[in-house]
Structure 1
Amino acid sequence: MRTPDITLVLATVGRTSELGRLFDSFAAQSFANFEVVVVDQNSDDRLLPHLERARYLGLSVRHIRHDPPNLAAARNAGIEAARGRWIGFPDDDCWYDPKVLEQVAARFEQADQPEGVVVRWVEQNEQPLTAARLTWKRASAFRDVPVSSITLFCHRALFKTIGGFDARLGVGQYFGAGEETDFVLRALRSGAAFCYEPLAEVHHHVNPEKPDPTPQARLAVRHRARGTGALYVKHQLPAWVILRGLLSPILRPLLKGAFGADLAHGCAVMLGRIDGMLRWRRTGT
């Protein structure tokens, strides 16, 4: 069996119907030499029909189990199982442009041979449309870090050099986000070369522009924001970066005269970042 060039590590729990669109987008890729490692965090067999269909579509799929659910730890298990030179991390509810793997592989093979390639999340529409090199200086100021897990592709060797995702961060943990940003910050600090490739595109729905006014939504926002607060402390970011990160969520709505759900959302972000900083100082290393 031919060794794949790319491994896609798909950590999933709870979802089923969304996988059909994702697997269809994999089957439509112009680049064929890749495998999918599905890290199944469900306690039942709900994925089996979808995996059978993926194999019917001609995909090379391997299925491993992981318990208890922890997104970062599940991705680390997938990295351990990966055989490809390069590894990507699709979400179970995203989907790929047909040429994205071809473009990623071509970018890795260019003369500068980056350790990481970050592609464009189309629906987010906040990323530049020009190719660029990511730098520690800009990233540590939380500038030019257009990174979500769905946009991230890395050399497998990089994970052996700096380790995988920090399992204290991300979905299912007290620090409810930030594991991919943490990984990229660690990589850049180690001297790894990361580039942004806007012509390679992935898709994922984004949250509505108007914040959800419910208390439950604000709690979820606060939970995710703890990850950013943890990163402030873990990476010893400059005081001005931290101060900007704490104040801007509430200053933006105030300057617009938005005193309802927007301001409540901003307060939740600020409080979550403070939560994350304080807890990481007590429990992080």
Structure 2
Amino acid sequence: MNRQDFKDFEVIVVDQNSDDRLVEILGDRKWQFPVTHLRTPTARGASRARNNGWRVARGEIITFPDDDCWYPPWILSKALGILERTGADMVTGRAADLTGRSINARFEMSPQIISLRNLWSTHIEWVAFFRRTAFEMIGGYDEDIGPGAASPWQACEAQDVSLRALKLKLRCYFDPSLYAHHKEAVVTNPDETVTRKQRGYARGMGYVLRKHEFGPFHLLYWIARPVGGMLYYFLQNKRNRAKYSANVVMGRVEGWLKVRPKSP
């Protein structure tokens, strides 16, 4: 972050660890920007961490980097420029590798207003920049959705935010030239852990669909592709990949039906 070409920013580190592992790291060097270490070991979950962080932030623009993503040096100035140029309340981008190729999701190819048509391909949590006033109107993240939440709904908190923003008639804008980096998720031969995690993510999507009153035809649309994948990989004798697709299907159905398994 200290290599950003835009210098007027602060960093809030929301620490949910039960031990002191970050104390020495954060206090062991002089930072070139303000750093606030906010310890919340009894308040777990990504959405809860984001809410705890933005409420103590002082800036007019808020963003939520993951703990395992990294930002190009131009991202802050570019995001501010897009917000200014478009007059948007929220600007989003995409996940990319170091060459700029999209990873870990499908994203739109051109700049566009976020709408019900494209919201599933225009928002990832850690490449989203909000005007603080708009985020206050939205009310922050739903703490019952997202990785680490106490619920089975382990993903799609970003789309929940987009949907609430659209209901408030806020201006939300996606620009694919705005991107940040993350390790690429490779699922060519997923193991049991990856498959189980993906089912939790799929439940999150199903739950958000139902929360915002998307009907059964929308659910059928979102399970059609993984159903096809399940059959294709089964016939190719790629059993792990077929099982992965099957878990996506089951997870989305479980989320839409609001089924709460014993463990997320």
TM bin, normalised by shorter chain, reads 0.7 to 0.9
CA contact (8 A) 1:233 1:280 kept: no
CA contact (8 A) 1:177 1:228 kept: yes
In 2, distance between residues paired with 1:201 and 1:96? 8
Confirm or deny that 1:226 pairs with 2:203.
yes
1:77 is matched by which residue type in structure 2? N
Confirm or deny that 1:147 pairs with 2:127.
no
Aligned counterpart in structure 2 of residue 204 of structure 1, from 177, 182, 186: 182
Report what 2:115 is aligned to: 135
How much does 1:253 deviate?
4.2
CA contact (8 A) 1:131 1:198 kept: yes
Which 5+ residue runs of structure 2 have no aligned equivalent? none
CA contact (8 A) 1:107 1:117 kept: yes
Report what 2:252 is aligned to: 273
Aligned counterpart in structure 2 of residue 162 of structure 1, from 117, 134, 138: 138
Confirm or deny that 1:47 pairs with 2:25.
no
1:190 is matched by which residue type in structure 2? L
Confirm or deny that 1:175 pairs with 2:179.
no
Q: CA RMSD in A?
A: 1.9
- Closer, same or farther: CA 280–268 of 1 in aligned 2, 3 Å: closer
- Closer, same or farther: CA 238–204 of 1 in aligned 2, 3 Å: same
CA contact (8 A) 2:154 2:203 kept: yes
In 2, distance between residues paired with 1:152 and 1:258? 38
- Closer, same or farther: CA 274–253 of 1 in aligned 2, 3 Å: closer
How much does 1:128 deviate?
3.6
How much does 1:255 deviate?
4.2
Deviates most, 149-158 or 239-248:
239-248
Identity of aligned pairs, percent? 31
Deviates most, 95-104 or 216-225:
216-225
Report what 2:91 is aligned to: 117
Confirm or deny that 1:250 pairs with 2:227.
yes
In 2, distance between residues paired with 1:215 and 1:77? 32
- Please report the TM-score for the alignment, with normalisation by the length of structure 1: 0.81
Report what 1:90 is aligned to: 65
Confirm or deny that 1:69 pairs with 2:44.
yes
- Closer, same or farther: CA 186–218 of 1 in aligned 2, 3 Å: same
CA contact (8 A) 1:136 1:189 kept: no
How much does 1:278 deviate?
2.0
Report what 1:186 is aligned to: 164
1:82 is matched by which residue type in structure 2? A
- Closer, same or farther: CA 221–69 of 1 in aligned 2, 3 Å: same
1:132 is matched by which residue type in structure 2? Q
- Please report the TM-score for the alignment, with normalisation by the length of structure 2: 0.87
**Secondary structure at the residue paired with 2:258?**
helix
Report what 1:80 is aligned to: 55
In 2, distance between residues paired with 1:258 and 1:167? 40
CA contact (8 A) 2:114 2:122 kept: no
What is the number of residues matched between the two proteins?
Answer: 249
How much does 1:50 deviate?
2.3
**Secondary structure at the residue paired with 2:11?**
strand
